[in-house]
Amino acid sequence: MSAPSAALPRWVDLAVLPALNLFLALAVTALLVLLTGGDPVVALRALVVGSFGSADAIGYTLYYATNMAFTGLAVAVAFQAGLFNIGAEGQAYIGGLGVALVALNLEGLPAPLLVPLAIAGGALFGAAWGAIPGWLQARRGSHIVITTIMFNFLAASLMVHLVVNVLIAPGSMSPESRSFADAASLPSLSFLGFAASTPLNLALVLALLAALGVWLLIWRTPWGYGLRVAGQSPDVARYAGIDEGRVIIAAMALSGALAAGVAVNELLGAQHKLLLSFTGGYGFTGIAVALMGRNHPLGVLLAALLFGALTQGGAEMAFEVPDVPSEIVVLIQGLVILFTGALGLMLRPALMRLLVPARA
């Protein structure tokens, strides 16, 4: 396999290509808005104002971005190990089970004990739900992509059963657990000057710490080096005595634990109870975030901010501009995945022609 990326200057690879891909995705979307009789300029302005135009908007943008940072990191860690984890959605969902079980069963504990335990419970459950497909790939030869797809649906079935039949609040008609104790909630970030009316909470800081932790672990430890070697060249890893199977299982466990951060942000930070479908597709957005962020923690954080802004701005835009629904943001996400992932090679030759001869 040739590596054409080696010839492109680093800044082009890391900044220009993602920007161009995002521009293409937005251009296609703008064209669609135009074709359906809308005004793309008005829509875009509503999107920007809706995402950053007020203290409330910024709070919500960061709140959504927190979820996306967690799933983006989850997908990126797996990518670094050469694995495509489509299962972040299910891992986050099962992570929510871990969070809720701790929060509901140990509610007598004081907050400084209960919150970390609930987070640990979520991480543990998410890690397990990620490690099983990892184990199946490493030891039984199943394909991680198909297995994680199936595990998303298994998680959904399991959670519907548990929430509707087991964990439902007694006497309640809606499928949700009873509320967690007050001690089991993450503090709002209003003490940092963010709007108290938004669900933004300490999980944002946890996401930033998680990104730092991932960077240290993957780029600054021998274990992380082994993970990247196994991801880039399994043959070299085997020759160097790295147990590829163990790397796969550990990487998927770490990925699942990171995905469970969505449950921490949503359940401990905002909803304060377990409810159905709280993962809301963030696991899939994580794919776009990781691809756009070039599977690097810093890139993932920036991409998460972008997609958080798109989600919040999209919701506001749907109010401001009738006929342009908030679902258009899903379209932008899909297009970004398409342009950065599958069609990412399209722009490379053109950029090479443009840049490399000029430098030679």
Partner 1 sequence: MTEALDILLPILAATLRLATPLLLAALAGLFSERAGIVDVGLEGKMLVGAFAAAAAAAVTGEVMLGLLAAVAASCGLGLVHAFGCITLRGSQVVSGMAINIIASGLTATLALAWFGLGGQTPPLSAAARFLPLSMPGAEILAGIPVLGRLYASLVGGQTALVYLALLLVPVSAFVLARTRFGLRLRAAGEHPAAVDTAGVSVTRLRYAGVLIASVLCGVAGAYVATAQGAGFQRDMIAGRGYIALAAMILGGWQPGRILLTCLLFGALDAAAIRLQGVVLPGIGAFPVQAIQALPYLLTVVLLAGFMGRALPPKASGQPYVKER
- Would you tell me which residues interact with partner 1 (CB under 8 A)? 32, 36-38, 84, 86, 136, 140-143, 145-147, 149-151, 153-154, 157-158, 160-161, 165, 284, 287-288, 291, 323-325, 327-335, 337-338, 341-346
Query: Residue 90 CB, nearest distance to partner 1 (Å)?
Result: 10
- Contact indicator for 232, 83 with CB cutoff of 8 Å: no
- Which residue's CB is nearer to partner 1, number 183 or number 348? 348
Query: Residue 200 CB, nearest distance to partner 1 (Å)?
Result: 25
- Which residue's CB is nearer to partner 1, number 62 or number 329? 329
Query: Residue 34 CB, nearest distance to partner 1 (Å)?
Result: 11
Instruction: Round to whole Å and give the CA distance between 21 and 157.
Output: 36
- Which residue's CB is nearer to partner 1, number 155 or number 206? 155
Query: Residue 150 CB, nearest distance to partner 1 (Å)?
Result: 4
Instruction: Round to whole Å and give the CA distance between 86 and 20.
Output: 25
- Which residue's CB is nearer to partner 1, number 213 or number 344? 344
- Which residue's CB is nearer to partner 1, number 117 or number 150? 150
Residue with tokens 């949700």: 176
Query: Residue 248 CB, nearest distance to partner 1 (Å)?
Result: 14
Query: Residue 223 CB, nearest distance to partner 1 (Å)?
Result: 26
- Which residue's CB is nearer to partner 1, number 186 or number 289? 289
